[in-house]
Amino acid sequence: MDEFLQQLINGLTIGGFYAVVALGYTMVYGVLRLINFAHGDMFMWGTLAGWGLMTTVLASLTDMDIVAILIASVLVMAFIGVMGMTVERIAYRPLRSAGRLSPIISALGAAFALQAVARNVSEARWRTYPQGLLKEMPDLQVTENVSLSGLQVIMLLICAAVMIGLYLFVQRTRIGTAMRAVSLDHNVSRLMGINVDGIISLVFFIGPALGGLAGVLIGIYYGSFNFTLGWVFGLKAFIAAILGGIGNIPGAVLGGFILGITETMVVAYGPDIGLPDASAWKDAIAYILLVAILIARPTGILGETVAEKV
């Protein structure tokens, strides 16, 4: 039982990262019915920008772990948020009234462009975050043999705060109400006096900013990364959003945790069910879950079926 609880904690930590990135996908889709395929690479740019700050401007603060991480996170969120707004303005807005295929092609083009620039900036090498960040924090003992590292505690608290904060923002504020109105009907929202373009720009700021925050957290948690991180991790987060019901904020959170826990359990207990190299199956799990949910419930676990008039 102790081993199971420890793996569950590990899965919740990874699932929290998936959930935060998945929120970016689900916010954009909820407002525009558009899959922002560049989101994963914006997340990767968050990791890259965080590494750049932590190894240069903030290098003198690495002994003050929390301060350095907070400053890096805020700056990266602002940078990636502006990047998201820029991509929306250049790659998506001109094609908003075009057919469904054009924005998808444009999104993929933006993703490849961001990845190519990141490859040149990082010199296509693995980059390493400063070692020892948050390592001196005491562990949180759950049982005699089960514990959360100080790093895991911080990561889970940040992820939980982001998820709860975003949900309350969307549900309890006037701007959040405007977002929900725009997600239902752009034209009616305009007639009600809502600045639809402004709301869409804000969504493209918040979603990528969350991805940027997750990028910094991932860099600190794993310690190293390269320019392909956005494609691999971003695709899994996209699957998490679909799993929970894309366009649904609680669904994105649920999908992230399900994916993180499932991956962790397969790696931990795979040998017991006949998978000698279970870690090699970790990536395949996400795609197996994707196929299964699309067959069983195409709208996702918490997604709602919407009838469209044709």
Average pLDDT for the chain: 88
pLDDT(21) > 50: yes
Q: Where is average pLDDT lowest: 11-20, 70-79, 129-138, 176-185?
A: 129-138
CA distance 264 to 244: 18
pLDDT at 133: 65
Q: Kindly indicate the confidence band of residue 305, based on its pLDDT and cuts at 50, 70 and 90.
A: low
Percent of the chain with pLDDT over 90: 57
Contact between 46 and 215 under an 8 Å Cβ cutoff? The reply is yes
State the DSSP string of 227-272: TTHHHHHHHHHHHHHHHH-TT-HHHHHHHHHHHHHHHHHHHHHGGG
**End-to-end Cα separation, the chain, in angstroms:** 54
Residue 128 belongs to some domain of the structure = yes
Question: Which pLDDT band holds residue 135 (cuts at 50, 70, 90)?
Answer: low
Q: Quick check: 309 pLDDT over 50?
A: no
Q: Hey, which residues does 204 pair with through a beta bridge?
A: none
In a domain, 90, yes or no: yes
Residue 214 lies in a domain: yes
Map tokens 């959930």 to a residue: 19
Q: Which residue has the higher pLDDT, 57 or 290?
A: 290
pLDDT of residue 138: 76
- Flag whether 284 is in a domain: no
- Residue 139: what pLDDT? 78
Of 11-20, 183-192, 208-217, 279-288, minimum mean pLDDT range: 279-288
Q: In terms of residue numbers, what domain contains 208? A: 15-230
The residues, any chain, with a CB within 8 Å of residue 63's CB and separated by 6 or more, are none
Considering only residues 50 and 282, tell me which one the structure prediction assigns the higher pLDDT: 50
| pLDDT for 64 | 62
Is 257 in contact with 15 (CB distance < 8 Å)?
Answer: yes
Give the C-alpha separation, 259 to 244, whole Å.
10
Residue 96, pLDDT score: 82
For 144-183, write each residue's pLDDT tens digit: 778 888 788 888 999 999 999 999 999 999 999 999 999 9
| Residues 278-304, mean pLDDT to the nearest whole number | 84
Q: How many folded domains does the chain comprise? A: 1
Task: List Cβ neighbours of 268 (8 Å cut-off, separation of 6 or more).
Answer: 3, 7, 278
Query: CA 159, CA 257: separation in Å to the nearest integer?
Result: 11
Q: Give the pLDDT score at 182.
A: 93
Least confident of 11-20, 51-60, 63-72, 114-123: 63-72
- What mean pLDDT do residues 38-48 have? 95
Residue 206 within any structural domain of the chain: yes
Q: Is residue 302 part of a domain?
A: no
Predicted confidence (pLDDT) per residue in 191-210, tens digit: 999 999 999 999 999 999 99
Per-residue pLDDT for 278 more than 80?
no
Kindly report the three-state secondary structure assignment for every residue of 107-142: HHHHHHHHHHHHHHHCCCCCEECCCCCCCCCCCEEC
Is the confidence at residue 132, as pLDDT, over 80?
Answer: no
What does the block give as tokens for 281? 């199956």
H or E element: which one contains 21? helix 2-32
pLDDT at 134: 65
- Residue 60 Cα distances to 27, 57, 65, angstroms: 36, 8, 10
Q: Is the residue at 303 inside a domain?
A: no
What is each CA distance from 259 to 23, 211, 228, in whole angstroms? 14, 17, 20
Q: Indicate if the alpha-carbon torsion angle 25, 28, 33, 34 is positive or negative.
A: negative
How many Å apart are CA 24 and CA 84, to the nearest integer? 10
pLDDT recorded at residue 310: 42
CA quadruple 36, 38, 44, 49: dihedral sign:
negative
In a domain, 3, yes or no: no
* Lowest-confidence pick of 10-24, 80-94, 292-306: 292-306
CA distance 46 to 18: 14
Q: Which residue matches tokens 């005699």? A: 144
Residue 60 corresponds to which tokens in the numbers above? 């003198």
